[in-house]
Chains A and B, each alone.
Chain A
Amino acid sequence: MASEQLRLRAGGAVARRQLVSRVSRYLFLGATVLGVSILGFLAYDTIDSGASRLSLDFLTNYPSRFAEKAGLRPAMYGTLWLMLITVFSSIPIAIGTAIWIEEFAPRNRLLTIVKINLANLAGVPSIIYGILGLTIFVRFYGMDRSLLAGGFTLALMIIPMTVIASQEAIRQVPPSLRDGALALGATRWQAVRHNVLPNAIPGIMTGTILAISRAVGETAALIMIGGAAFIHFDPGPNLADFADPGGFWAGLNESFTVIPIQIYAWTLDSRREFQANASAGIIVLMTGVMALNLLAALIRERFRRN
């Protein structure tokens, strides 16, 4: 008798709340399953149609009108060099901006305007950055349709995203660390350098890698500034150029193509065999992006442990 009485069932408003809670659980599960399964299906479809084309030849051949001879080689060189240029030109600027906004900037209306603008810039379509890059780098600075112009354009594109992510990371550092350093007589910069930054680095890394992942897949902006689809050499400096600054510079000023442009060119081709090439290209690109994310996770873990 007693045990029966203990099995209470809620009624009225409480029962409704519990129902909402139970339903919401399945609703969110459904949302997750939907997103992940679409992604899973796309990945399966891509691997299914492209895996047969993956081979060493595919990675080392130049573009061709014969699907079985066409390869990604110049595109992989182009993507790697472009990412190096993008990373080295955007990261210092982006992190510097974030540090200034969070640590040094006076809290006034101007700062609010800067912040709002940054948030807006992060949402600007990439083709706009392409037009900007074409006007500023290709034309005004006379860089032509080069790796440098492409890298700087992508840098412009990912700076707002990286700044916002870095700001978040810096904001999450407990104020006590900073205040403690300042109270002991450290300068602002010392506090930032030795207390804030080391603790913010994992978050900054995450944001940066996400931004780079977006840049790796960028197509429209690069087509706008003249990224080629057919190229029959390896863009970027080669080994001999490392000893010779002039040659290195010339290498950075070469024309380029990147993996997404190559994939796009293949999807435009009406012949069926090229669709398999496009899928294989997507697999290579996905693998690269996943490797980047893995690297980010490793670096993050490393810094966390210390």
Chain B
Amino acid sequence: MIAKEPPGPRSTGIRALAVIFLLSLAALAAVACDDSGKGGEIDIDGSSTVYPITAAVAEDFHAVAGDVRVNVAFSGTGGGLEVFCAGETHLSNASRPIEQDELDACAENGINDVLEIQVGLDALTVMVHPDNDFADCLTIEQLHEIFRTGGAANWSAVDASFPDQPIALYYPGTDSGTFDYFVEAIIKDVDEAANHRGDGTASEDDNVLAVGIGGDGDSIGYFGFAYFQDAGQSLKAVSVDGGEGCVAPSFDSALDGSYPLSRPLFIYTRESSLAEHPENPMLRFLEFYLDNATALVAEVGYVSLPADTLQEQQARIEPYLP
């Protein structure tokens, strides 16, 4: 006797579920936008630091070129360059220059025309009270000692020649990118197990920090380079020694990489993906990127490039423009 499933309530239940499922699938698809991406697709991956800039550009680019799909992911600088060199993305965000072994990996896959474009700077400035006459230049290790958990309580603990006065700390809130970058470059770089101390004045508002540092003779603090350029000039900027002598924070020292507390932000693409054809979506995107970089980079909280440096970047895509 072969047991045949009687048409009972169980199978109606399954049938009802299947109908509900198909209906919801159809409803889902019905309201989906028919945005076919006929103008091309640009896949971008890489640094999560550069991501906000590129995503902002992509958002505004959509308004002027809705037929092009720009997809931005953020698997990190190294991860992004790896897939870029495997030919899986068209453009890669990076918070450091591409390394030789990455270029080698690119070349192995026949990618020999990597084009580097700088889009902005991520930099911070360490500030002290204008009357402070001893802290002209601090090393990375000294900054680490000042800002790590359980670090120096007095200036004299940082350097024997400094006065025996308490240190008052001012730093951006833990949510800010500046704080993240400081932790990465100063705290974790010296000692992976160390943490940023929490016994100072933290504020999301750079203005509060500037007023605090300016009103406290024992103060030391840091905030984004952009704010220093705008409004921090009344304070004293500390030069930083990353092992190769003291370097004062400035656009020039930040751009050429000699100032240790700055990192240039890049995007990488291929010359051949610019040269393909006149209505090239990548070319349109890059042109739009550089035309709007100054405003958008600043808007998402980084330092825009000076005009001459930006022009150098624009000159790199100039030959491909129609």
Which residues on A are within 8 Å of B, measured CB to CB? 63-65, 77, 80, 84, 138-139, 144-145, 181, 184-186, 190, 194, 198, 223-224, 226-234, 236-242, 255, 257, 265, 268-272, 275, 299, 302-303, 306
Interface core residue of B17, B88, B176, B300 (most chain A CB under 10 Å): B88
B8 at the interface (CB under 8 A from A): yes
Q: Are B55 and A226 in contact (CB under 8 A)?
A: no
Given A226-B88, A270-B176, are A302 and B70 also a contact pair (CB < 8 Å)?
no
Question: Which residues of chain B are near A198, meaning CB under 8 Å?
Answer: 10
Question: Which residues of chain B are near A242, meaning CB under 8 Å?
Answer: 26, 29
Q: Are B32 and A144 in contact (CB under 8 A)?
A: no
Q: Are A228 and B10 in contact (CB under 8 A)?
A: no
Q: Are A227 and B29 in contact (CB under 8 A)?
A: no
Given A77-B28, A272-B204, are A230 and B175 also a contact pair (CB < 8 Å)?
no
Interchain CB contact (< 8 A) of B88 among A144, A224, A241, A265: A144
Q: Are A229 and B73 in contact (CB under 8 A)?
A: yes
Q: Are A65 and B29 in contact (CB under 8 A)?
A: no
Q: Are B74 and A233 in contact (CB under 8 A)?
A: no
B52 at the interface (CB under 8 A from A): yes
Interface core residue of A64, A198, A229, A271 (most chain B CB under 10 Å): A229
How distant is A80 from chain B, measured CB to nearest CB, in Å? 6
B72 at the interface (CB under 8 A from A): yes
A173 to B81, CA, bound (A): 52
A252 to B75, CA, bound (A): 22
Interchain CB contact (< 8 A) of A139 among B37, B86, B180: B86
Interchain CB contact (< 8 A) of A255 among B33, B41, B75: B41
Q: Are B74 and A223 in contact (CB under 8 A)?
A: yes
Question: Which residues of chain A are near B48, meaning CB under 8 Å?
Answer: 268
Interface size class of chain B, counting residues whose CB lies under 8 Å from the partner chain:
35 or more
A138 to B87, CA, bound (A): 11
Question: Which residues of chain B are near A194, meaning CB under 8 Å?
Answer: 3, 5
Q: Are B1 and A184 in contact (CB under 8 A)?
A: yes
B299 at the interface (CB under 8 A from A): yes
Q: Are A275 and B72 in contact (CB under 8 A)?
A: no
Interchain CB contact (< 8 A) of A65 among B17, B34, B56: B56
How distant is B50 from chain A, measured CB to nearest CB, in Å? 12
A224 to B83, CA, bound (A): 10
How distant is B244 from chain A, measured CB to nearest CB, in Å? 30
Question: Which residues of chain B are near A226, meaning CB under 8 Å?
Answer: 43, 45, 73, 75, 83, 88-89
Interchain CB contact (< 8 A) of A231 among B34, B71, B83: B71
B177 at the interface (CB under 8 A from A): yes
A302 to B16, CA, bound (A): 12
Question: Which residues of chain A are near B299, meaning CB under 8 Å?
Answer: 65
How distant is B86 from chain A, measured CB to nearest CB, in Å? 7
Q: Are A238 and B73 in contact (CB under 8 A)?
A: no
B319 at the interface (CB under 8 A from A): no
Those of B277-300 within 8 Å (CB) of chain A: 299-300
Those of B32-49 within 8 Å (CB) of chain A: 32-35, 37, 41, 43-45, 48
Q: Are B33 and A228 in contact (CB under 8 A)?
A: no
Q: Are B13 and A270 in contact (CB under 8 A)?
A: no
How distant is B134 from chain A, measured CB to nearest CB, in Å? 33
16 sample A-B contacts, Cβ–Cβ < 8 Å, listed by A number: A223-B73, A223-B75, A226-B43, A226-B45, A228-B73, A230-B71, A231-B71, A234-B33, A234-B35, A238-B34, A255-B41, A265-B51, A265-B74, A272-B204, A303-B13, A306-B10
